[in-house]
Amino acid sequence: MDELQQIWKRHAYVMRASTAFLYGIVVSVAMNFFWTPGHIYSSGITGLAQLLATISKNNSLPLTTAFWLFALNVPLFGVAWKQIGHRFSVFTFLAVIFSSIMIKVMHPINLTSDPIICAIFGGAVNGFGTGLALKNGISTGGLDILGLVIKKHTGKSIGTINMIFNGFIVLAAGFMFGWPYAFYSALGLFVNAKVMDMVYTRQKKMQVMIVTSSPNSVIESIQTRLRRGVTIVHGAEGAYKHDAKTILFTIISRYEQPELERAMQEADPHAFVSIAENVHIMGHFYEPDL
């Protein structure tokens, strides 16, 4: 059993490292093929790195976006190492270093300089890469680290800080390239967020109601596969045959839905299952360690 766990851990590490490398390629495509030709700024630290690179172009020693992306993340690595975890920090470092290298070495292809096309496709490509990274348990650095640290200590998200920071990036695009580019950058941020939400489903909560005649086996299967608590409502009755039923309630993430389906198929394939999305959670909800 210990040997199998070691094999699984090595497999998980290889998957995360491969995802970090793939993210580096994807963000470099978004940067070099769409954002830079279209004068579009990204969100967060990446957008700030673009801004600093634009400002330093007129200096005697111009510094690239790749350099600033790595330099701005260096102090955040130290925060992540102390506050979040060593494994998280290592894979975050890999994601940032791969993206910095790929942005530097991947030569851009002049597909188009149309700002609307660049905003939409750059945002979509980057959103896919970021969502894929988060889905596989790695961070892309920057504001992700600050968000996790603040959430760990206060339980609150940094949504407002994120909005203010990205608002600053949009205004910078307007000052640098003209105000229409501020709107183009805002469009790119919107597309990026929507595509990222489509790919990364771990943060989306779903309420599950199960009507079953075999509550014990269903509970055991769910708790074994998903590590989720279950609330039991006894004394339910089916209206058609008037047979005894038990109602079970639990909350899962959308990422866990396939595992729930397998658990139900294993425990009670004839159970009635209702799933509702967009659940607001108050109280403890288990989040796996990063």
Q: What are phi and psi of 212, to 5 degrees?
A: -145, 155
Dihedral sign of CA atoms 75, 76, 82, 85 in order: negative
Question: Does the structure show a pLDDT above 50 at 256?
Answer: yes
Confidence at residue 60, expressed as pLDDT on a 0 to 100 scale: 65
Domain assignment present for residue 284? The answer is no
Q: Do 85 and 222 belong together in one domain?
A: no
Q: Do 240 and 256 belong together in one domain?
A: yes
**pLDDT band for position 84 (cuts 50, 70, 90):** confident
Dihedral sign of CA atoms 39, 45, 46, 48 in order: positive
pLDDT tens figures, 185-230: 999 988 988 888 788 766 678 889 999 998 999 998 888 888 788 9
Q: Do 151 and 264 belong together in one domain?
A: no
Which range marks the domain in which residue 223 is found? 205-276
Confidence at residue 1, expressed as pLDDT on a 0 to 100 scale: 45
CB 25 within 8 A of CB 106: yes
Domain assignment present for residue 285? The answer is no
Q: In 3-state terms, the chain is what percent helix, strand and coil (to 5)?
A: 65, 10, 25
Vertex 168: Cα angle to 166 and 169 (nearest 5): 65
CB 289 within 8 A of CB 270: no
Tell me the residue ranges of DSSP E strands in 97-230: 205-212
Vertex 171: Cα angle to 166 and 117 (nearest 5): 80
The residue type of 216 is: N
Distance in angstroms between the alpha carbons of the first and the last residue of the chain: 23
b/e string for 151-189 if b means 16 or more Cβ within 10 A?
A: eeeeeeebeeebeebbeebbebbbebbeeebbebbbbbb
Domain stop point among 199, 223, 250: 199
Domain assignment present for residue 164? The answer is yes
Q: What are phi and psi of 281, to 5 degrees?
A: -105, 130
Domain assignment present for residue 40? The answer is yes
Task: Give, for 100, the enclosing helix (H) or strand (E).
Answer: helix 86-105
The residue type of 95 is: A
Q: Do 240 and 112 belong together in one domain?
A: no
Domain stop point among 199, 234, 259: 199
From CA 139, how far away is CA 31, in angstroms rounded?
A: 18
Q: Do 22 and 82 belong together in one domain?
A: yes
Confidence at residue 247, expressed as pLDDT on a 0 to 100 scale: 93
State the total domains in the chain: 2
Q: Do 234 and 211 belong together in one domain?
A: yes
**pLDDT band for position 177 (cuts 50, 70, 90):** confident
Q: Which token pair is 264?
A: 């139900």
Q: Do 227 and 144 belong together in one domain?
A: no
Domain assignment present for residue 287? The answer is no
Closest listed residue to residue 181, CA positions, set 169, 195, 164 = 169
Domain assignment present for residue 289? The answer is no
Domain assignment present for residue 290? The answer is no
From CA 118, how far away is CA 108, in angstroms rounded?
A: 13
Q: Do 20 and 126 belong together in one domain?
A: yes
Confidence at residue 124, expressed as pLDDT on a 0 to 100 scale: 93
Cα-based distances in Å from 161 to 147, 150, 153, 168: 9, 11, 16, 11
Q: Do 182 and 270 belong together in one domain?
A: no
What pTM does this model have? Answer: 0.72
Closest listed residue to residue 200, CA positions, set 130, 122, 99 = 130
Q: Do 36 and 175 belong together in one domain?
A: yes
Vertex 81: Cα angle to 14 and 195 (nearest 5): 60
Domain stop point among 138, 169, 199: 199
Q: Do 269 and 159 belong together in one domain?
A: no
Confidence at residue 179, expressed as pLDDT on a 0 to 100 scale: 87
Q: What are phi and psi of 252, to 5 degrees?
A: -130, 170
Domain assignment present for residue 12? The answer is yes
Question: Does the structure show a pLDDT above 60 at 113?
Answer: yes
Q: Do 60 and 131 belong together in one domain?
A: yes
pLDDT tens figures, 29-81: 999 999 988 888 888 888 888 888 888 877 766 788 889 999 988 888 888 88
Q: Which token pair is 189?
A: 């941020």
Return the percentage of the chain with pLDDT > 90, whole number.
Answer: 19
CATH of the domain at 260: 3.30.70.120
